[in-house]
Structure 1
């Protein structure tokens, strides 16, 4: 008789699959015990239905994602209390077949994440416009969920769910322990005022600036006791959000992660100097399409972030001279540096090698004449585990990159992410075979992870590269390889 793992062991294992909805769904089908364990994790955040693939990339299908929504909605309808089903039957919204279904589990009680706008849109997609059904489903969540950890509410269109859900019975108990909130800035003030009375322990706040800044937003921010993570996004519309900066600054002692995203135009003259008040930051992400760091430049040369471990500039970044001075002051504890559009000057590369000895993950460009700079970084940053870079004709070739990694990378190095959106790849199977042969003979031996994004090559080379990957995966030299167009 086969040995059956106990439920607590299965739960420990399935926790690692929380974001992999496809695999979790497969676990439901194994047997009753597996189903009982995995369903609780699957429904913790059922709104994130995007599949995650490991090993070889599977094409992400929008149609597959949309097919998930009716199944979730049917389950929500089955979970409705009898009085709600009767009410909706009388209104002609549901039929007798729909209300006769009973759920296998109390799915709603498993939920820890509530996405109000997704529920509303899900109902609109299937029923076109049924505010009565939306009301009953939201009311069910307010009554059945003991404690929501994350709430997401965006006003995307005229079909937005009515804010009266905050007054439903059970809403206060449901939302008191809310720790994550994602929302637009233009939600009605009553939403923020009501939440500021209910919730005082929000640790993660994501705000998308849209239209206007609601009068109640600064009250909600001020009323929090331990705000740790803050994300601000302004992608369109010239919106003045200076009014909430004093409220944000009150959290200068507790905030450890700050992310600011903006488009190329709408961040002109936006206030940024408040960033330097958060001296306990462990992670800082500043993402603008063009260089709008003028207001910050002087302060970036003098500010000290003694705990900073992650620094990211996904688009533009400060001038080399300013960034080098920043790294001199703050590079000692940096573990992750992400600079996409760097000038790739020798001085910046040498500064990374000199001032960032504990770097574990580096994303930067290497021009075709900067092979020596890469070698210096590999030799000096002995904690380095991962590099992300790009390839196009003016940058270091894939062959040169692999040769340098095989010869000079530190003992903990194990991952390469190579992005190629602008030209055909020059990588051939022989180059990859040579690298993996050298990697196989390294001491100590570590399995390697390859991620190729935007990979374009001849059909013959693609098939050959795939065969090389599969060969070394079987030998245990490759732990993971992803190739996507």
Structure 2
């Protein structure tokens, strides 16, 4: 059977196991042809192996990497001088192929997790030190005889050097917790074709913008929502030739404003780029307050706010996206009347509206449904909230008017019977099918044992 399947069929099958490395490892042993097909999948993002339990797999990956590209003698001597650590290579001198040439994704968080696992001493070597007190005498702890930090530092620097010099096909890179020393010493000459970039500090762009000029998507993932070293960001944005997506993520829940109510140190060049891109993601981040924004090319907008203070609501009201096709809310929603007005300004282009509904206190549900019915004739996928006692006729109008709708999710702010809803939908079209899901959620500011129950209905055509 295996011999009758061509490579295209096998690739289609293997794509279903793309994230299941354990299964893929077993499959590469079947035949040479399977090996050649699967190696790119396994080495596309090899440091995902850190998510597997135990350190043995990570250490095997380290051994494979340094067998292909051995440490220099000085580095090897430093590692071997550390108690209970020894550099090990595979017994064979040459690998089947250069596995590093298949790496397309490098994420510093996963990489550092991989290094941490590789730096740990084998558990059985700690046995002589398990008893810290013997006959009243305190024995040295393992940390006194095994310097994990030194090993981690050496491995981090030299493995990064190997990756940065030999991985020429990397297309996606995330630098969230990489050291300044590493940024200064490593070269990005081989990363000129990176398409997606995520950074934790803008200062990282100091070196990257010289070599990476084909970025399609940049994610700025800061801890405070501010833009220190904004000159590096401006130079980077000016160098890009086809930037299409910007995601601004603030890991903090607070906003820092100046005396004019605007976000501090917001680069003007970034604002110009935002007004001319196709995809924008915002998390706990606000554009400068008190201005009108026409995002004339924007097609996809993702918004994440735990709450909507008045300034954020007012700024959202001043944003217009006439060509928007996808609108996603990952957390709470703005007032529904404000959301309805925003949707109306999409000029009928909206095809996907998804929202994570986190409570039951929604008002103006009728206004939202009316706006979707009138302003979204092309909508295909939808999730929304409904008051079934008041909005049933509006739901019928929506299903009739939005004839391209394939599936949508309803969350009721009051009790809604599944069989009643199913009967109502079948009166419109017998092909509609309802799947009921009972959900629990704890709202912010409540005690851990205070959960709200609500009904979610997935409706498919």
Q: TM-score range by the shorter chain?
A: 0.7 to 0.9
User: 1:228, CA displacement in angstroms?
Assistant: 0.9
What residue is the counterpart of 2:163 in the other structure? 141
What residue is the counterpart of 1:75 in the other structure? 61
- Cα gap change, 1:238/1:294 in structure 2, threshold over 3 Å: closer, same or farther? closer
Does residue 75 of structure 2 align to residue 84 of structure 1?
Answer: no
What residue is the counterpart of 2:445 in the other structure? none
User: 1:6, CA displacement in angstroms?
Assistant: 3.2
What residue is the counterpart of 1:118 in the other structure? 110
Q: Distance in 2 between matches of 1:403 and 1:163?
A: 65
User: Cα RMSD over matched residues?
Assistant: 3.6
Q: Distance in 2 between matches of 1:136 and 1:208?
A: 26
What residue is the counterpart of 2:268 in the other structure? 246
Aligned length: 401
- Kept in 1, the 8 Å contact 2:59–2:117? The answer is no
Q: Distance in 1 between matches of 2:169 and 2:3?
A: 36
Q: Distance in 2 between matches of 1:75 and 1:274?
A: 52
What residue is the counterpart of 1:208 in the other structure? 221
- Kept in 2, the 8 Å contact 1:385–1:414? The answer is no
Does residue 353 of structure 2 align to residue 337 of structure 1?
Answer: yes
What residue is the counterpart of 1:95 in the other structure? 86
Q: Partner of 2:3: helix, strand, or coil?
A: coil
Q: Distance in 1 between matches of 2:112 and 2:2?
A: 45
Q: Distance in 2 between matches of 1:251 and 1:396?
A: 45
Is there any run of 5+ residues in structure 1 with no aligned partner, and where? 50-63, 440-447, 450-485
1:193 to 206, 230, 236: 206
- Kept in 2, the 8 Å contact 1:231–1:259? The answer is yes
What residue is the counterpart of 2:439 in the other structure? 420
Q: Distance in 2 between matches of 1:280 and 1:409?
A: 36
Q: Partner of 1:84: helix, strand, or coil?
A: coil
- Cα gap change, 1:121/1:68 in structure 2, threshold over 3 Å: closer, same or farther? same
Does residue 280 of structure 2 align to residue 258 of structure 1?
Answer: yes
What residue is the counterpart of 1:164 in the other structure? 182
CA distances 1:113-161 after superposition (whole Å, capped 9, x unpaired): 1112321232123414221111221111112111321111112xxxx44
CA distances 1:232-258 after superposition (whole Å, capped 9, x unpaired): 111316556643441212324641111
- Kept in 1, the 8 Å contact 2:47–2:114? The answer is no
- Cα gap change, 1:83/1:291 in structure 2, threshold over 3 Å: closer, same or farther? closer
Is there any run of 5+ residues in structure 2 with no aligned partner, and where? 120-147, 258-262, 442-451
Q: Distance in 2 between matches of 1:419 and 1:27?
A: 39
- Kept in 1, the 8 Å contact 2:108–2:175? The answer is yes
Using the size of structure 1 for normalisation, the TM-score is 0.71
Q: Distance in 2 between matches of 1:375 and 1:309?
A: 23
Q: Distance in 2 between matches of 1:331 and 1:310?
A: 13
- Cα gap change, 1:6/1:313 in structure 2, threshold over 3 Å: closer, same or farther? closer
User: 1:374, CA displacement in angstroms?
Assistant: 2.6
User: 1:209, CA displacement in angstroms?
Assistant: 1.7
Does residue 382 of structure 2 align to residue 373 of structure 1?
Answer: no
Does residue 45 of structure 2 align to residue 45 of structure 1?
Answer: yes
Q: Distance in 2 between matches of 1:239 and 1:415?
A: 45
What residue is the counterpart of 1:460 in the other structure? none
- Kept in 1, the 8 Å contact 2:197–2:215? The answer is yes
Using the size of structure 2 for normalisation, the TM-score is 0.74
